[in-house]
Structure formats: structure tokens, C-alpha cells
Amino acid sequence: MKKRVLILCGLLLCAYQASSQTYEVKSPNGRIQIKVNNSNKISWSASLNGNLIIENAEAGMDFSSKTNFGLNPKVKKQTVKSVSQNIHAVVPIKESEIKDEYTELSITYQGNYKLNFRAYNDGVAYQFVDEAKEKRNVISEKVSLSFPNGSRSLFPQEESMYSHNERLYLDKSLNEIASKDFCSLPVLFTTPKAKVLFTETALHDYPGLFLKGNGNTTLNAIFPKYVLEAVDKDGKSDRVQTITKEADYIAKTSGNRAFPWRVFIISDDDRTLVSSNLSYQLAAPNALKNTDWIKPGKVAWDWYNDNNIYGVDFKAGLNTETYKYFIDFAAANKVEYVILDEGWTKSTTNILDFNPAMDVKELIRYGKEKGVGIILWVLWKPLDQNLLHILETYKSWGAKGIKIDYMQRNDQYMVNSYEQIARECAKLELLVDFHGAFKPAGLHRMYPNVLNYEGVRGNENNKWSTDITPEHTVTIPFIRMAAGPMDFTPGSMINKQPKNFAISFNNPMTMGTRAHQVAMYVVYEAPLQMMCESPSTYYKEQETVDFITQIPTVWDKTVVLHGSVGNYIVVARKKGDKWFIGGMTDADARELSIDLSFLGEGNFSMEVFSDGINAEAFAQDYKKEIVEVNKNTEVTAKMASGGGWSAIITKK
């Protein structure tokens, strides 16, 4: 009898939904709910614990011909399914095995398209799928997001869509974001009941999304137009272009395809913004059969420190002797790679030949002899003009990868260029680091040889600005890093408190303590992780180097212990049988308790790198100690202003 009642209730519910064209779906734990309404348009909302977080959002797409998605939508059918599976990460940025669990509502519409909504325990996402097979142009996409009154944003405001997407996060009420103001992704919203991190993934053959204000609590998507012509700025630039002709559409499409996922991490706990894998989970799966050759690791990097080698008997600079010194340092400290940054090529446009003072083939040979791989920096524009030949040439020399710079766009052509570079490099077994880039948008899962992206205001900005404050460095893990790997380039050994900081292009320094920089190696996710300081300085700070080089760049498991956007963060990560903890704070000194219950049974040795007693005055002061702990030990991470705390835990 009970079973019949349940079936009848289900039939009544289906009849109600068919009449009202309103559908609901909940996350596996029931905390997050999506409601989709179909009337003269498609609108949706998301709630957390019954509190409306995203309201009256709209989704649609306009095309040059045939059916426009979301215009007077007519539902043909809808299905709901629950999925629980594991994703094996080829390059484990947070963890090697990812629990992929969600409830999916799939709505098929007349006009050969459907809309998939997924509800996860840590957020929601949606994606349009075109099931027609017709060539046409995408005129625009409707992504309209409305938030409750009183909502704010940490807004990475842009001046132009032609941008490196390296922004500060402006704290603004949504009512302050005018119609002329727009931002790149990811972007964070704070509602009265939860935070929402908005980004996109599975971005293929389509332009990247920007979000503009309206002077109220609603924001709308805008996109770069399809580029018809781009020329060198002033007819002579090697890296900056002027877009002279644009189409009246944003993309060309041949139909029968899925469009990018619109991703919303939703939580009332800031730690979720760091622990979430949604961008990776929703990305296209690995396309490579053989991935054994992909080796993450650390990189000794030259450009930040301006090749400032000292205490040697040769003139430092862009020459073979200097880079052999870099290679010797990397080999002595088990650093996997050295980058040859700007200056190794004969010119910035002639990238098939090298600077006469640098024997690049000899450096690659020497590096191989020492067990150190060489990665070559290139400008995107000349690379794009002769991609295959240039890549094949670098491979024939023995290079291990490339670092591509100055893309500065994310229109459809540029998005396709990223994928072409990743694909062709994979064929040649070359690693990829996208610098001067837009945020990660899933390509690194499809092509795991893509190990890193910039798209962040990182340490290099210390060479010309005062922007990289401790507040900034404890903001980006919650926003930019939610999209994927982050080439912030940590590792400075010249550390100052803000009152002692000075801008120096040739001898840069960082704000915050030494322990703050060291903690970045645990907190910041970057499978290809830079060591930005001069090897000569590192040799003088060998104790710090010895600690840093023990820290992996990929992880089996991640646990976020503490987190408050722009204030502090403490992350524990496991690799093999060791645990690593990294903590960072803003300008406020803090003491945070560290719960070691994740250790399990047994006794452990904990090597700690923390702020020294005088770090408030002399930021390079640190303390290193080894203590015995177990899962019940009470540990406190004491951090100075702009400080940090790190630990390496080994079972005894």
C-alpha cells in the first residue's frame, strides 16, 4: 500500500512539472537545490540550506540562423540521474582520486538542443548542448546572474578584453559595479548567506566569458567578438596586437557540440573554495593514451632575479656560463627544470635561432648530463605563425617543454590556439606553461602536459609595483586558484615588511616574511612550480632551500584546515606517506590551531619552518625545528604580520 502511494505522488509531481515547466534537482547531500523554470525564457535559481543564493538567473544563446536557445522554450523531455564515480587525475593538482558525485537534470527542448544542470555538494553547473548539425554563428550568449540584496564581490576588474587577466580583487557592493565595469573570471560573490565562485570550464572552440555590472544586483556575460584581423601594434611590435576588424558574432560553430560549463562553487565555508575540484571534474577527460613522460616538478627561473649571479669568476647575464650555473644549482638541489626565459633567442621574433652568447644545444646537453630538463620561453605571436616547425625544432634540440607568453586574448581563435599548442606539444612529448594567459578552463585535464597557467597577479609584479601584499596572497587561493593551476612564481629570499619594501626591477623583494614565501609551496597549486630567486642567493639560504625542495608539486590528498578569504589559510596535503602543511596570514599576526587527526595512528616527526621571533621587524627571520607529534598532539601555528608556517610530517 505504501509503495502505491509513493508512485501516485510521483505521478502527481510529474504532472505538475509538465504543466508548469518547472523542475528541481538537489545535490547528493540535499543542501544545494536548483530550480529551473521554462516560460518565455529559461531561468533558474540556486539555494543553499533553503536560502536563495542565485536568483532569477537566465540562460540562452542567440544564433545567426535556426533555433535560438532559451527563446520560448518547449520541453520535449527531462531526465534526472544520480552519478557517483571516481576520476583519476593524471597530474594530481589536489588529489590523485577525485570523488565525482552529483545529480543531473537534463532537459531536452524542441529545436534540437538540451540544457544540463548538475547539483554537486559544493556547487552547481550548467551547459548547453547543440544536437543539430548545422553551420552557423553564435551572435551572443545570455548569462544573467542575480544575487540577493546586500551582496558584494571581490571583482577582478578589467579595462579591456585584450588583457593578461592579472588583476587585483576590488571589494565592491554589486550596486557599485556600473554598466561600464566588467571583469574576467573567476570572480567571487558574497551573499548574506554564502559565497559563490563563478568560473567556466570545458572551454573549447568558443570565446572566454567576461562579466559586466548594471549598477544593481544583476550581472551579465559579455564576450570578445570573433577576430577577423589583428595587426602588430604600430606595425612593429613583437607581442602586442591591435584588433582592427571584428565580426558581429562571437563564434563560428558547426553544431552537434557541447558548449562550456558555467560553474558556481557555492558554500558558507570559505575552505570549500580551495578544496573544490568542480572546474576539473567538469572538464573534458584526458585525451592522451601515454602520459608516463609527463613529469611535474620545480623550476629554477631566471627572469625574476634578472640573472643576478654573483660570487663567480664570469660576467653574469644572457650567456652560456650563467645558465650552466643555473643548471648546476638545479642539479645540486634536485630541482627538475631550468627555464631559459626572454633573451635566449636571436631576437624575440626569430625564435628558431639562439642568442650568439648562449649555446642552447650545449645547455640542453649539459642539463641532460646533470639530470635537469630545459624549458624554453617563446612569444605566442611568432610561435603561432610557424607552430609545427618551431615545436619540432625545439624537440630535436632536446627541450622538455615551452613557456608561451603574451597571448592576452581569449576570443575563439585564441582559445583554439591554446588547444592546438597543447595537442601538438603532447604529440612531441613537450610540457606547456601558459604565461600571459587567461585563467585555466579545463584544458589541463584534457591535455595533462599543460602543467601551469599564469593569469594571476604574481610575484613578478614586485619588480614594478606594491600590489603583492599579504592580503593579496591570501586572497588568490580562494578565487584564482579555484579555476586551476596558478603560476604565481614563489620563492623570494629577499623578504620585507611593508614599511621596508621598495620597488626594484633588477633586485626585487617581496612583502611578508620568509615563512610566508615558503608556505606558498604547499598552499599554491602549480605542478610546474617556480623557484624565482637567484641561485647565488639560494646558496646563501641553503637551509630554506633544503626545506622547499622537499615539498612536492602534485598531491595525493588535500585537506583545508583553516580558510578566510583575504585573511588566512592553512592547507594540509599528502604525497606518498608524508604530510605537508602550509599556513599564511595577511597583515594581522595570528595563532591558529592545527588539528592533526588526519595523521592516523602512530608517531611522527614534524619538521617546522615558522616565523622567527623578530619577523615583525626583520621579515627574513625564521625558526626551524623538529618535534615529535601524533594525531592527538596540540599544535599552534604562530604567524607574524604577513607571516607563514609550514611543516613536513614523516611517520617514524
Per DSSP, the three-state class of 584 is strand
| 8 A C-beta contact, residue 381 and residue 388 | no
The DSSP bridge partners found for residue 54 are 46
How far is it, in rounded angstroms, from Cα 583 to Cα 586?
11
Q: Which of 68, 72, 78, 70 is nearest to 17 (CA)?
A: 78
Give 587's DSSP letter. S
| 8 A C-beta contact, residue 436 and residue 378 | no
Q: Which of 59, 16, 21, 13 is nearest to 38 (CA)?
A: 21
The DSSP bridge partners found for residue 339 are 375
Give 597's DSSP letter. G
Per DSSP, the three-state class of 384 is helix
Indicate which residue of 405, 471, 487, 586 is catalytic.
405
Amino acid letter for position 66: K
How far is it, in rounded angstroms, from Cα 151 to Cα 448?
37
Q: Is 533 a catalytic residue?
A: no
H/E run at residue 565: none
By the 10 Å C-beta count (0-12 exposed, 13-18 middle, 19+ buried), 451 is classed as buried
Indicate which residue of 158, 454, 460, 525 is catalytic.
460
How far is it, in rounded angstroms, from Cα 422 to Cα 424?
6
Q: Is 460 a catalytic residue?
A: yes
Q: Where are the beta strands (DSSP E) in 293-358?
A: 297-300, 337-340
- Residues in Cβ contact with 194 at an 8 Å cutoff, skipping those fewer than 6 apart: 48, 51, 53, 266, 267, 268
How far is it, in rounded angstroms, from Cα 138 to Cα 65?
9
Which sequence positions are flagged as catalytic? 405, 460
